[in-house]
Each structure stands twice: as structure tokens, then as C-alpha cells.
Amino acid sequence: MKLSLDPYMFRHVPMLELPGLVADLGYQWLELSPRDDFLPFFNHPRVDDARVAAFKAELAATGVGVSSVLPLYKWSGPDEDDRQAAVRYWKRAIRITAELGVDVMNSEFNGRPEQAARSESQFWRSMEELLPVFEAEGVRLVLEPHPDDFEEGGRAAIDLIRGINSPLVSFLYCAPHTFHLGNDAPGIIGYAGDLLTNVHVADSFDHTGSSGLRYIVNPPGSTVRVHQHLDIGQGEVDFDELFESLAAVGFDGTVTACVFAWEERARDSSTFMREKITDLLMKQGMQL
């Protein structure tokens, strides 16, 4: 099992200094999430082969590995021009991942929930183009349903991934999305079984609480999706239940700390999350 850090709160740290920072925080692995100077949100990668090689050298020098590369593109968007552009960006990102010597990428379904059928059709079109590239480069793909994607439910997302019918594609459970996924970590994790290979860990409040009035957004009836990525213990996710469920299915994949809420105390938050996740794993007899 790997314990990884999503260093998004440190995205302003120069890229070549990132491995050393992650090592100083006590992590052996990092998840390379979007950065403006690497894989920016929804745009083409911003690095050349020389920069990739320099980053790879820094990783080796610090003893830090990349557990996964996380790009976000509009590959399921209902607009066909956007989809074609996203596929081009994906192809370059896959090759960059392979050049780094990393064999896992994770991402979201994307698309639009109000155009779910159209978005799913676009998703399958993109998968037809990209699966051969993943296969050729030896890179696995881990997918998560995200709030405001064309598919937001945990069990439905697992069924969709099963429909891809590829050993290269698996499921990611994101703890701070628990209340959007169906608020049933044991059921979803059990349903996924061996298909679950990655877990994102951060806390969140239950937006459905207090008869749906935990959060009030205007205008009434807004379809905005609300969630947080907080330190464990600051929200309402039941982490004992979550880690018990992981132990029950024999989970042995990657657990990633992905707190985004505390940039002003990013170091303390990252250290706290490492210690807390380690304690939760040990409590269940799960070894790193």
C-alpha cells in the first residue's frame, strides 16, 4: 500500500522543488495533480521532455515516487470541439506519465449532469480513442465520479467502469465526496471490491443535513454542488467506518491525502493528515 500526498496546496512551489518538499513532509509518494506549469486544468500540458527528465531526476534524488498523475480535461463534454481537444491533451499527458516511469493516472468522468446521455456518449467516444494509447504506454486509468459530472453516484460509476471491460481501468473512492456518492462507504466499497485501487482522503460536511438546509445557496433551486476537502475530524465523514470497509475488502492500493482548504497552514495540515491516516490504517491492521 502507498500513502501519497496531493500537493495542490503547494502548487506555487517551483516544480523542481516539489519532491524535496514532499520528502520533508514525511511522504514517500505524491499524486501529481494539475499545476499551471505542468498539466493545467482543461488545457494542453505545459512541459517538454527536458523538463520531464529534470523532474524525474529530482524525484530520484529525493527518494520520492509519483503514485499517480491526475489530469482534468473536458473529454466527456457535450461540445465536440472541446472533446477532441481534450483527447489531444490526454494523449500528451499519457506519454508524459510514461516518460516519468509512472503507470497510473486518475481522473474524473467530467461531462454535464444536465446532458448526461450526450456526455456519456462523448465519454465512450473518447475512451475508444484513448484506451489503445493507455495500453501502448502501459499506463492504468483510475476513474472517480465527481460532483457535477455526468455520473455522480458511487455504485452507478462502478457499473460504468465495469462496462469499459478493461483490466487497465479501475475505481477511485473519494472520501470528501461521500455525501454526493450516496453516503454509503461500506456499500460502495464492498460493491467495488477488487475494482477499488485508489482512495482520496479528506473530510467534508454532509450537505444534505438539516433537511437540506446545512448550506443555503441562492437563488433557491440552484444546482451548485457543495463539498469541502478538510482535515480529518473537521467534517462529518465517518473515517473509522471508511477504513474498516477498506480492510474488509483487503484494500492494498494507494491512499492519498488531498486537503485543499488550508493553504495558510499547508505544512501542518499535510503532516497531520499523514499521521492520522497512518493511525487509521494501523488501527485496522493495514500496513504501508
Residues 40-65: tens digit of each pLDDT: 999 999 999 999 999 999 999 999 99
Whether residue 34 is preceded by a cis peptide bond, meaning omega within 30 degrees of 0, is no
With a pLDDT cut of 70, the percent of the chain lying above it is: 100
Whether residue 186 is preceded by a cis peptide bond, meaning omega within 30 degrees of 0, is no
φ/ψ bin of 174: left (φ > 0), alpha (ψ from -120 to 50), beta (otherwise): beta
**Domain boundaries in the chain?**
2-283
Are 198 and 253 in contact by the 8 Å Cβ rule? The answer is yes
Task: Provide the grid cell at 165.
Answer: 471491460
Task: Provide the grid cell at 250.
Answer: 483487503
> What pLDDT, in 10s, does the model give residues 204-221?
998 788 877 777 778 877
Say yes or no to pLDDT of 265 above 90.
yes
At the top level of CATH, the class of 2-283 is alpha beta
Instruction: Give the Cβ contact number of residue 27 at 10 Å.
Output: 25
Q: HSE-up of 21 (CA within 13 Å, CB side)?
A: 19
Max CA distance (Å), the chain: 54
> What pLDDT, in 10s, does the model give residues 84-142?
999 999 999 999 999 999 999 999 999 999 999 999 999 999 999 999 999 999 999 99
